Structure 1
Amino acid sequence: MRYRTKTYIAGDWTGDKDAVDQLYKWNNSNYWGLSFHDAHEITQSADSSRNCSIKASLRARLDISKTFVLIVGNGTKSRRAGECNYCFKNNYCGSSSNKSFIEYECDKAVRDNLKIVVLYNSAKVNKNLCPDAVRYQGVHVPMCYREGGKLYWDYQTVKNAIKNC
């Protein structure tokens, strides 16, 4: 029997790197009280791996996760990395899906009934930017707040969302 103890972080690691980095900063700090056990510490795929090999690695990490955290930014829903028409059409790797990595992760999180937290890399929740599979699932909160015309990271809202989902 496999115990699900990890937290899985998903998102556009290029377009929303600032938000991903902030989440890890809070988690790795001795000052901040955010604490999660990162599923990405378990196994990694090389960037040169086939998309189907990368999805197998994603599946292994999701299989040990109890919480799925998706960081949503302006380009998350339209991100297409992970699609592979060759594998899908020719059943090259046994893939039954031509979905992007983000779509694949979201679908599996819902299918596995993981706790879902959607963090928006902004001061508001805009579910139109969220992938369809998790648009109406779990807890949705902004990662920032606006004060005096400036954006600030909202540690307390993020911590509460992850802790209380």
Structure 2
Amino acid sequence: MAYKNRTYIAFDGDSDIRYYWLMKAWKHNSRDFFADFNFYDAHDTNSARDTSQEQSIKRQLSERLDNSKLFILLVGDSTRYLYKFVKWEIEQAIERRIPIIVVNLNGKRQLDTDKCPPLLKDQTAIHISFNQKVIEHALNNWDSQLQNIKQQSKSGPFYYTDEVYKKLGL
């Protein structure tokens, strides 16, 4: 089995792709300016084209998930209504026990019951706002925090306190 070192990012490809591109720009600029924002993008693993058949796309996405150690869901206005791929991607992350980071594009810092896909409302995941510093913090810390949560037999949605955001300068 290949070493899992990628970050899988799921999003509404029609409405929210600009946020994914912005994350990629943060990553690129991190290399240029010695900042810490970095992730190994699972989408670089292969190419799933919109013109492909659904099963072919899911096969490509499955390969990406196989190499992922973290799952980020970018939650926009229509994310909760996407069943063909986004719901399937979430189901796969849950089934594979990939730590989940839910990123609210509207700036909300905790579970957004109006926008979050119902499938994730009771799952153990961290819910954060869309901001480079807090996403970076979650990328670097959520996996180990999740291990501690599991050891304490806790579950459900989690979020960072205002104090964490304040320490990050937000």
CA distance in 2, matches of 1:158, 1:127: 20
Could you tell me the TM-score, scaled by structure 1's length?
Answer: 0.76
Relative to 1, partners in 2 of residues 1:127 and 1:40: Cα closer, same or farther, differing over 3 Å?
Answer: same
Structure 2: unaligned runs, 5 residues or longer: 143-170
1:113 CA drift (Å): 0.5
Aligned to 1:9: 9
Q: Is the 8 A contact 1:77 1:129 kept in 2?
A: yes
1:121 aligns with 2:125: no
Aligned to 1:110: 94
Aligned AA for 1:3? Y
Structure 1 or 2: more strand by fraction: 1
- Aligned residues: CA RMSD: 1.4
Aligned AA for 1:50? Q
1:120 CA drift (Å): 0.7
Structure 1: unaligned runs, 5 residues or longer: 81-99, 144-153
1:51 CA drift (Å): 0.7
1:103 CA drift (Å): 0.5
Percent identical residues: 29
Q: Which range moved further: 22-31 or 6-15?
A: 22-31
SS at match of 1:127: coil
* 1:65-95, Cα deviation, whole Å (9 max, x unpaired): 1100110001001124xxxxxxxxxxxxxxx
1:21 aligns with 2:7: no
SS at match of 2:134: helix
CA distance in 2, matches of 1:55, 1:105: 9
SS at match of 2:8: strand
Q: How many residues align?
A: 136
1:157 aligns with 2:144: no
List structure 1 runs of 4+ shifted beyond 4 angstroms: none
SS at match of 1:130: coil
1:44 CA drift (Å): 1.1
- Of 51, 55, 60 in structure 2, the residue corresponding to residue 57 of structure 1 is 60
Structure 1 or 2: more helix by fraction: 2
Aligned to 1:72: 75
- Of 125, 131, 136 in structure 2, the residue corresponding to residue 138 of structure 1 is 125
